[in-house]
Amino acid sequence: MSAPALGNRLKEHRARCGLTQAELAARVQVTRKTINTVENRVFVPSAILALRLAAALGVPVEDVFYLEEN
């Protein structure tokens, strides 16, 4: 049994808020590249970053991140 992957709806929530990757990055004090790699599932964010992203978007963390069962 393989571990579940972490899916996200970060791009959708960011677009709904009218934010660019750079603007969201500035709100949570990371680089634009970090936002890009999270959106494209290259990088799995820490719990702290996931919570900060959700807070910056005004939604519960479960609305942004979810487990994908294999």
Encode pLDDT of 17-35 as tens digits.
999 999 999 999 999 999 9
What's CA 9's distance to the chain center, in Å?
Answer: 7
pLDDT of 41 strictly over 80: yes
- Does the pTM surpass 0.85? The reply is yes
Residue 69: pLDDT band with limits 50, 70, 90: confident
Q: Quote the tokens at residue 58.
A: 């005004």
The answer to whether the beta carbons of residues 4 and 68 sit under 8 Å apart is yes
Identify the pLDDT of residue 70.
67
Domain ranges across the chain: 5-56
State in words which class domain 5-56 has: mainly alpha
Identify the pLDDT of residue 4.
83
